[in-house]
Structures are given as C-alpha cells and as structure tokens.
Structure 1
Amino acid sequence: MLNSSQWAEMSSGSENCNFTDIDRLAWKVQLGISIPTFILGLVLNSLALSVFCCFWRKQTKTSVYMINLALADVLLLLSLPPKLYYSITRVPGLLCPFIQAPYFVNTYTSIFIIVCITVDRYICIRHPFEGRANQSPKWAVLICCFIWAAAWICSSPIYVFHRKESIKCFHNLSEQTWSVPFIVSVEIFGFLIPLAVMVFCSAQTIWILWNCKTHNKGDVEESGSLRVIIINLVVFLVCFTPVHLGIFLQCLVKQQVIVGCRMKQSISLFLQVSMTCANINCCLDAIFYYFAAKEFRKKTHLRRVAEVCPVFNPCAMRWDCQQWESAACQDTDTATPDTAGTVP
C-alpha cells in the first residue's frame, strides 16, 4: 500500500518534475555541436552560394535548387546563435515566435528542397530524354517560391498560439502548438511524405545504376554515384528521423499519455539533442551536393583539395551507363558528361 505522501507525489508528477539539470546538460551538448556546425556550415554554404550565383555559366533547375538549399542552410545557421541564447534566457512570450519561426521554416524548406533535388535526379536517370528537354529553371524557381511561401504560412501557428508571460524560447511552446492535429500534420507532411519520396526515388535510382554497372561489368561497390545517393539517403534518415521521433514523443507528453517524470526528462533531453544534431545536415548538404558537381569544382580552386582529400573524391560522380552518357540532363548535381570534362 502507498502512503499518502507517495500517492501525492505520483498524482502531481508533472508539477514536481524538474528539468533544470536536463536543460543545462542539453545546452552544453548543443553548444559543443552547434559551434563547429555554425562555422563549418557558414563557410561551405557561403562558398557554394558565391560559386552558383557568380561563376555558374548558366542557371539550370539544379543550380536554382542548390542556391535555394544553400540559402535555407545559411539562414538556418544564422538562427542558431539566437536559438542557443534565448533557450536559456527568459524573454516576453510575444518575442519568441520571431526567434523560433525562422529556425523551423528554414529546416523544412531545406528538407523539401533536398527532396526536389532527389526527384530531379531520379527523373533525369529514369527518363533521360524528357529530363533533358525540361531543364528550364523556371519551374524550379516556381517550386522553390512555393516551398518558401508554404513553409512561412505553415509556421503561422507559432505566431498565433504564443504565451504572453516571460518564457524561455524553444522550451515553452503553447498547448495549441502541441495539439494533436498540428503535430500530426507536421509529422505527415513535414517528414513522412518527404521521406517516402526520398526512399522511392533513391531506391529506383540505385536500382537503375546497379543494372547499368552490372550490364557493363563495372565495379558497383566502387561507383561514386551510387555511394553519393546512398549516403545522401542515410544522412537524411539520420538527421531528421530522431528529431521527428522526439516531436512525436513530446506530443505524447503534452497530451499526458506519458506521465512518468524520468521518461519526460529523457524525452526532453532527446528532443533537444536531436534538434541540434539535425543541424549538422547544413554542412553535409554542401559536401554531398555542391562538391559532387563537376562544374562546381571546375569553377573554384578546390580541385586539388578534391584530388587529395578522400572525403571529397568519392563525390566525383561518373556515369558508365551508355544510355545515360548519350542523353543525360545538363548540369545536374550528379554529373555533366556533355559539358564537363573529366577532372584530372
């Protein structure tokens, strides 16, 4: 039998559950990961923006996607210092939406542009003639504009449902923001659908290239193109799956489905750390997309780095399938056999 004090402690679990030590530990982890991510990400994405905007000889669908992806990553990285500072500093609740929204908007903008690049690559390989005939950047511009607009519109609940009292941002979202319909929409449209598209397009692309390499008796395991596609998919899964799992679990906490104090503390720590780890994708975008383009390396002084550094060398994608050689998309993020020569 439980005595009265034990029963009172169990019945008021959430009120007596203290998150001070958890938040302090999470902030130290965030600081250790965010500082190198911020510096490296800004360098790589700023370099990518300068190359694609100033030196790319002709704007294509791929260059439009890459410019927008780099811009979203830069804006996300610039939102990290305010995120770190205001997550430990109490400010008026009305100010928090203007700090929180840019972070979430640029995160999901980055996700959807990555999906667009993956779909574009798949179309170019699966339907090379149609892909080559539809390389006008106009559609890419419209799609990117739609993504940016949709991301900002979908962030409106953060502005509408905000706390009025003084709070720490990113820790005290309103109960309406954690409502089941809103979180389910975020999980389905912000992650599960993009993930399904990524898995389908990447699997189809890998299957086509595998058959091409096998038919030509090439070494599949040594194929740079296959490695980039596989690594890109793995990075997407590793970066964005934990944070959306954390959002789902935190929603269960807010809906009082999970009531144990120890479990609540673990979920809070997991969500904060997974959000920080997801930001590493900003650096990996630059490595696995921008350095994979032969045209990018031709327009910069990084060719020797790419030759010497084994991190960048596998990203030099070369298509050995004869059909892809004869009718490839121009200036894609994978390879440009018609316009770019072999990198020495």
Structure 2
Amino acid sequence: MTDNSTDCSMDRVEELMHSVQLVIYVPTFVFGMVLNTLALVVFCVVLRKWNESTIYMTNLALMDLLLLLLLPFKMHAINNKWDANRKLFCSFLESMYFVGMYGSIYTITCIALDRYVAIQHPFRSKEFRSPRAAIIICVVIWCLALGATSPVYSFHNNSDEPFRCFHGFSDAGWKPALIGCVEVFGFLLPAAVVVVCSIKSIHTLKQSQRQSVKGHSGERIMYSSLCAFLVPFTPYHLGVFLQFLVRQRMITACQSKTNIALFVQVAMCLANVTCCLDALCYYFIVKEVRSSRDTIRRSISHRRTISTSEV
C-alpha cells in the first residue's frame, strides 16, 4: 500500500522492509497458527460449552486463522512479482485478508459489547444475550465483511505488466469516500464502542463489593480485548490515513512520504500480531468457563452432602 507513483523513490524503504516483514511475519504465522488452533480445539472439543463468550471466541479464532493462512502469500509477494493473469486470484487473497482483519475488529467489538450488557444489566441481559443470538451475530459479521471488502477487486490497474500482490493499489483504492468508510466504520466507531464498554465494565467490576475470581477474570478479559484491539489496529489505521494524505497530494515532501511509507508497512506487519494477542482473551475465557464449572460442581456436591446427611 505504498506510493510508488511519483518522483520520490521508495527503493530504500522496500529494501529495508524485505527483512523486517519476514522477521515479523514468520513468528506471527508460527505462534498464531499454534495458539489459534489450540483455541479451537479447547473451545470445540475440550470445553464444549457453547455460551456467548465461547461462540465469539471461536469466531475470533476462525478470523485469525483466515488472516494467518494468507501470510505465506504476503511473504511470497515481498520479493516476487506476479503475472498479470493472476490479478483476480490476488484480489481474492487481498479481499480475504481484509475479511479476517475487519472480521476480527467487529468480533472483538461484539465481545466488549456483550460483556458490557452482561455486567451493566445482568437481569435484562437475558432478553438480548443467548447462544443463538451470538451465532446469528457472527454470521452477520462474516456477511458484512465479505460484502464490504468487495471493492478490493478494483484496486489493481488493468495492465499486462507483472505486479506485486498486496502492494501498489491504484487510485480506486484511495478514494476519499472509501477511506472515510474504512476509517470511521472500520476503526473509529468500533474503537469507541470497545473503549467505552471496556472502561465502564472494568469500573463496574472494580466497584463491585464481591470481587470473586470470576470478577477478576472478567476484568482481565476486558483488558486483553482492549490490548488486542488498540495495539495492532491503531497504528495501522493512522498509517492508512497518512498514506491517504500522500495520495491526495496533501503531503508532498519526499522525506515525509518516505517516512509515511515506512510507517505504513511496519504498521501493516504489526496489525497481524493481533492473531497472537487474541490468545490472551482465549486464556481468560477458558479460565472463566472452568471456574464456573468448578463452582457448579461444588454446589452440586454440597447439595448431595446435605441430602445424604438428612437421610
């Protein structure tokens, strides 16, 4: 997504990023695949408790795996140009990459909102929260992400020259209306929901007179969701906005354009780290579910003991 169009050469940036991208992508791919695969095994095989939290986390793991499966293609595109007849395949890969990214963003948003409703309105939440509703919301996220990423198929110029996939989007990919939608609906609006819901939920848990293990676990889930959202996605969307200013010729200084191009590519690499950061959410959700199970088992055991003593 760098600007290679004018008198300012980006060769130095591209040369530097060849090594940086591989250094970030390889461990992200390895650890991300392991962590997200283990998460699916735990949620689907070990726990097998389908509540709202485990459904959203399963969907998040699927989104992360989709994004991770595309990293080898991105790594190949770092040093290799593709033939023009592979543009449709490249556009499909790019579209799926953004489906994974923005699907993750909205899944984390739904997790924060679901937690907010459960903590702030524990009695009324039963009217809105259910495993069926969570499944429907996850399906809607997939449909919206697939539909919203369809413009990606027009992001490459119609030429017969070799090209680099995941790089060098045409002017169609930098239209003000499109970038505005990406920034507002793809990041700012979800970020506002995640931050507000998380802060209010954490404040409520801290003010609660009963600071149980489940309460501490709930705080950790909110903190980990905030970390998994803000750390990778804030720099990336800031970089997209700065690169948009370059493409609109609002920033013309060569040194500024070079710095922005470097910042954008580093931010794009770091955005993929969310696939590993999400493992924090998985861990605390599993801990919470197991804690709930232990509480139920102790309650049942206690009732049986009372019944036996009465007999």
**Same fold, judged at TM 0.5 (above):** yes
SS of equivalent to 1:184: helix
Could you say which residue in structure 2 is the equivalent of 1:39?
A: 30
SS of equivalent to 2:264: helix
Which of 184, 192, 197 does residue 193 from structure 2 map onto? 197
Q: Could you say if the C-alpha distance between residues 135 and 223 of structure 1 is closer, same or farther in structure 2, counting changes exceeding 3 Å?
A: closer
Matched, 1:114 2:108: yes
Shift of 1:231: 4.1
Matched, 1:141 2:135: yes
Shift of 1:168: 1.0
In structure 2, C-alpha distance between the alignment counterparts of 1:57 and 1:94, rounded to whole Å: 39
Could you say which residue in structure 1 is the equivalent of 2:9?
A: 18
Q: Which has the higher contact order (CA 8 A, sep 6+)?
A: 2
Q: Contact between 2:43 and 2:49, CA under 8 Å: does it hold in 1?
A: no
- The code of the aligned residue for 2:229 comes to F
Could you say which residue in structure 2 is the equivalent of 1:171?
A: 167
Q: Contact between 2:52 and 2:129, CA under 8 Å: does it hold in 1?
A: yes
In structure 2, C-alpha distance between the alignment counterparts of 1:236 and 1:137, rounded to whole Å: 23
- Greater share of residues in helix: 2
SS of equivalent to 1:116: helix
Could you say which residue in structure 1 is the equivalent of 2:62?
A: 71
Matched, 1:232 2:228: no
Query: Percent sequence identity over matched residues?
Result: 42
Q: Contact between 1:14 and 1:261, CA under 8 Å: does it hold in 2?
A: no
Matched, 1:131 2:131: no
Could you say which residue in structure 1 is the equivalent of 2:181?
A: 185
List alignment gaps of at least 5 residues for structure 1.
Answer: 1-12, 297-315, 318-330
SS of equivalent to 1:34: helix
Q: Contact between 1:292 and 1:334, CA under 8 Å: does it hold in 2?
A: no
Task: Spell out, residue by residue over 1:268-310, the C-alpha distance to the aligned partner (whole angstroms, 9 max, x if none).
Answer: 1111111111111111112x221112xx3xxxxxxxxxxxxxx
Shift of 1:227: 4.2
Query: Alignment length, in residue pairs?
Result: 290
In structure 2, C-alpha distance between the alignment counterparts of 1:188 and 1:337, rounded to whole Å: 43
- The code of the aligned residue for 1:80 comes to L
Could you say which residue in structure 2 is the equivalent of 1:280?
A: 273
Which of 253, 257, 263 does residue 256 from structure 2 map onto? 263
Matched, 1:54 2:49: no
Cα root mean square deviation, aligned: 2.6
Task: Spell out, residue by residue over 1:2-40, the C-alpha distance to the aligned partner (whole angstroms, 9 max, x if none).
Answer: xxxxxxxxxxx9633111220121121111111111111
**TM-score (norm. length: structure 1):** 0.77
Matched, 1:206 2:198: no
SS of equivalent to 1:17: coil
List alignment gaps of at least 5 residues for structure 2.
Answer: 300-311
